[in-house]
Homo-oligomer: A and B are copies of this chain.
Amino acid sequence: MHLHAALITALNVVLIFVAMLLVGRARGRSGIEAPAITGDPGFERAFRAHQNTLEQTMMFLPVLWLATLYSNEKYAAWLGFAWLAGRLWYVFGYIQDAGKRSGGFLVGFLAFALLTLMALWGIGKQLLA
């Protein structure tokens, strides 16, 4: 049942975990001690890449499952995999340079936007039926 959405969800967790490890590595390299979260550009980029991925995940996971359950499961899965690819690109771009975060952000955002429209369309159609 919904194995592709389940796999995308699990891989999303792995992605967040990788972004978290990169924050830990940047903390070590920069010497910024917890609880401080500012003071070194490299640490701040890794920190923001992780935070932004968490923020986007909070919008992505609900619409991934709503689109899967209330609209088209197959299209939702393709968009889910596209989101994962965009976000991977985003995280590894951002930690190199703040300017390199745009491409991956855009891919992830487009996949998210389409999933949101699918979810709203599917739910709306069934509410009005």
Which residue of chain B has the shortest Cβ distance to A50 in the bound complex? B55
Copies in the complex: 3
Which A residues lie at the B interface, using CB under 8 A?
1, 3, 6-7, 9-10, 12-14, 16-17, 20, 33-38, 41, 44-45, 47-48, 50, 54-55, 57-59, 61-63, 66, 69-70, 98, 101, 116, 119-120, 123-124, 126-127
24 A-B pairs, CB-CB below 8 angstroms?
A: A1-B69, A3-B126, A6-B66, A6-B69, A6-B119, A6-B123, A9-B66, A10-B66, A13-B62, A13-B63, A14-B116, A16-B55, A17-B59, A17-B116, A20-B55, A33-B98, A34-B48, A34-B101, A35-B47, A35-B48, A35-B98, A37-B48, A50-B55, A57-B58
